[in-house]
Amino acid sequence: MRVPAVTLVAAVFLTPLQAMAQGGSVEIGTNAGLTILTGGGATSTNFSVPGAGVGGAANLYASFFGAKALFIEPSTGLTIAHDGGTTVTNLGLAGTVGYLLKKTASVKGAYVAGDAALDYLHGGGGSATDFALGGKVGYRCPIGTSLAARFEGGFRKWLHDTGLFGTRSEITFSVGLGVVRHKGGGAAPAAPRRR
């Protein structure tokens, strides 16, 4: 059973490298945004800069764009809060696979994506881990050849009631800014010409 798990992990890490080798680019950035968590009869709203990561945490993402319309985006966030003698640690990891509707990352355009997330919470005498599935829609705007902005809305459904989290849903609205690096460090590929 260890061989399929190793193969899966290797594929997750090698696929972005293959995308870059095929003429793609990478965008590294963060988001500012609003996260609404509902569950267990309660709703919490969190606005943060950076933010809109897993569970509303600050996040850092890396989008790997291939020569085609698909992109892969791992992201992570870490929040450590101390209040009244208690320290709470929240670690979130997410993986996204998206599709650019204009089929290239070099022009402005909409995208759709699916994602999976893992959230680990420790503190107050307990810990819990939960897993979520969700989706996103967004609009990405390259700014020159080395920056890109994005506007995004997303939804995640957390799958377990762990006692600490409860069964919850997560809605996010965010604005992101990333630095873009193209294969070979050169300028962005030319946008396709309209006919």
For 76, the enclosing helix (H) or strand (E) is strand 70-83
For position 162, what pLDDT does the model report?
A: 58
Token reading at 19? 């995308």
Domain assignment present for 190: no
How many distinct structural domains can be found in the chain? Answer: 1
**CA of residue 91 relative to chain centroid, distance:** 13
Domain assignment present for 22: yes
Domain assignment present for 75: yes
- 10-residue stretch averages of pLDDT, the chain, 195 residues long: 48 54 79 85 82 75 86 88 82 91 89 92 82 94 93 91 69 93 60 50
Domain assignment present for 87: yes
For position 3, what pLDDT does the model report?
A: 47
- Sorted by sequence, the CB contacts under 8 Å of residue 123 that are 6+ apart come out as 81, 86, 87, 88, 89
Nearest Cα residue to 53 out of 94, 6, 97, 5 = 94
Domain assignment present for 103: yes
For position 28, what pLDDT does the model report?
A: 93
Scanning the structure block, which residue is given the tokens 């309209």?
A: 194
Domain assignment present for 140: yes
Q: What domain range is 17 assigned to? A: 2-183
Q: What is the CATH number of the domain that holds 160?
A: 2.40.160.20
For position 5, what pLDDT does the model report?
A: 43
Domain assignment present for 189: no
